[in-house]
Amino acid sequence: MIGIHNLTKTYKGSTVLNIEHLEIQKGDSLGLVGNNGAGKTTLFSAILDLIQPTTGYINNNGIKVNESEEWKSITSAFIDETFLIGYLTAEEYFYFIGELRGQNKADVDAVLSQFEDFFHDEILGQKKYLRDLSKGNQKKAGIVAALIGNPEVIILDEPFANLDPTTQIRLKKIIKELSADPDVTVLVSSHDLMHVTEVCDRIVVLDKGEVVKDLLTSEETLNELEAHFS
Partner 1 sequence: MKLFMGFWALWFIVMMAFGGIGAFFFIKEKLNLDPFETVNRFLIYWLVFDLLFRYALQKMPVINIKPLLTLPFKKKKIVSFAFGKTIFSFFNIVHVFFFIPFSIVLIQNGHSVFNVVLWNIGLTALVYCNNFLNIILNKKDNLIFLIGGIITTLGGLQYLEYFDATAYTAPFFIGLYDVSFWTIIPVVVLLLLIFISFRSFVNDLYLDAGLASKVKSIKTENLEWLDRFGKLSTFLKNDIKLIKRNKRARSTVLVSVLFLFYGLLFFPGWVDSYEGPVWQIFAAIFVTGGFLLSFGQFVPSWDSSYYPLMMSQNIKYKEYLSSKWLLMVIATLISTVLASGYLFFGWEVYLAIIVGAIYNIGVNSHIVLWAGAYVKTPIDLTSNKKAFGDKQAFNAKTLMLSLPKMALPMILYAIGHYSYDPYAGYALVAITGIAGFAFKDVVFNKIERIYKTEKYKTIAAYKQTK
**Shortest Cβ distance from residue 223 to partner 1 (Å)?**
36
- The footprint of partner 1 (CB under 8 A) covers 45, 48-52, 69, 72-73, 75-77, 79-80, 82-89, 91-92, 95-97, 99-101, 127-129, 131-132
User: By C-beta, is 100 or 169 nearer to partner 1?
Assistant: 100
Q: If DSSP codes are grouped into helix, strand and coil, which group holds residue 162?
A: coil
**Shortest Cβ distance from residue 85 to partner 1 (Å)?**
5
Contact indicator for 2, 153 with CB cutoff of 8 Å = yes
User: By C-beta, is 121 or 219 nearer to partner 1?
Assistant: 121
User: By C-beta, is 73 or 168 nearer to partner 1?
Assistant: 73
Residue 39's Cα: distance from chain center in Å? 14
**Shortest Cβ distance from residue 212 to partner 1 (Å)?**
28
User: By C-beta, is 65 or 225 nearer to partner 1?
Assistant: 65
User: By C-beta, is 107 or 192 nearer to partner 1?
Assistant: 107
**Shortest Cβ distance from residue 45 to partner 1 (Å)?**
8
Q: What distance in Å separates the CA atoms of residue 225 and residue 207, rounded to the nearest whole number?
A: 12
Other beta carbons within 10 angstroms of residue 15's beta carbon come to 14
Distances (CA, A) of 7 to 4, 76, 209: 6, 21, 10
Strand ranges, E, within 28-138: 29-33, 55-60, 63-64, 75-78
Q: What distance in Å separates the CA atoms of residue 38 and residue 17, rounded to the nearest whole number?
A: 8
User: By C-beta, is 72 or 228 nearer to partner 1?
Assistant: 72
**Shortest Cβ distance from residue 69 to partner 1 (Å)?**
6
Q: What distance in Å separates the CA atoms of residue 11 and residue 28, rounded to the nearest whole number?
A: 30
Q: What distance in Å separates the CA atoms of residue 207 and residue 209, rounded to the nearest whole number?
A: 5
**Shortest Cβ distance from residue 55 to partner 1 (Å)?**
15
Q: Give the pairing of strands 202-207 and 29-33.
A: parallel
